[in-house]
Amino acid sequence: MRNLLTTQDQNFYRELILKEAYTRLAWKMKYSKEYPTTFASRRSKSIGLFNPPSVGKVTLPPVVQTREKPARRSLSEAPLMRPVSPRTTAALYQGLSNEGKGRSLYLKKRAQKGPEEKFDYPILSSWDYGWRLGDYEIDCKTPAYGRSGIVRSTFYARNGIFNIPAATDQLG
């Protein structure tokens, strides 16, 4: 039901309903003599056969299938995504996905890169927040009079949680 709110889907359903109506009308005009329809009222009286109006031959709009050629990009249009490195592209054609190679490995390598490395500029408005955040230095220092010692001695010991900091744990 979520897709019914878009204009494209509404136009699709409108066209689908019209095509079905034209198809039913064309079938009824062609086969009305072979398959007559009678309408019976509550008292089982026969009102009569359904006779469609004589409009002549109903012609449906032709179904045209066109193959869309890929549009050529002009030099003024910039591509949305940066080209993939040859090593990453080569991973796409080596091995099978269920072995963890091929397409699976290619997608994992692409997922490791952030949007800033894949695109020249933010495509989505949500990308504006945090875009090129790595270009700025973040000066986060631990507070000189922080309470980390109090938390360590009271919380961890009382609740049975062992605080064993790793070498990679940093506060800033």
The better pLDDT of the pair 99, 1 is held by: 99
- Give the burial string for 69-108 (b: 16+ CB within 10 Å, else e): eeeeeeeeeeeeeeebeeeeeebbeeeeeeeeebebbbee
Quote the pTM value.
0.36
Task: Provide the residue range defining the domain that includes 89.
Answer: 85-120
38, β-bridge pairs: 49
Q: Which residue has the tokens 């034209």?
A: 22
Classify residue 122 as exposed, middle or buried by CB count within 10 Å of its CB (0-12, 13-18, 19+): middle
Tens-place pLDDT, residues 39-70: 554 444 555 555 555 656 667 777 777 666 66
Distance, in Å, from the CA atom of 104 to the CA atom of 99, rounded to the nearest integer, reads 8
Residue 107 in domain: yes
Residue 47 in domain: no
Residue 45 in domain: no
Residue 158 in domain: no
pLDDT greater than 80 at residue 146: no
What's the number of domains the chain is made of?
2
Distance, in Å, from the CA atom of 90 to the CA atom of 172, rounded to the nearest integer, reads 38
The better pLDDT of the pair 13, 154 is held by: 13
Tens-place pLDDT, residues 16-42: 998 998 888 888 888 888 877 765 544
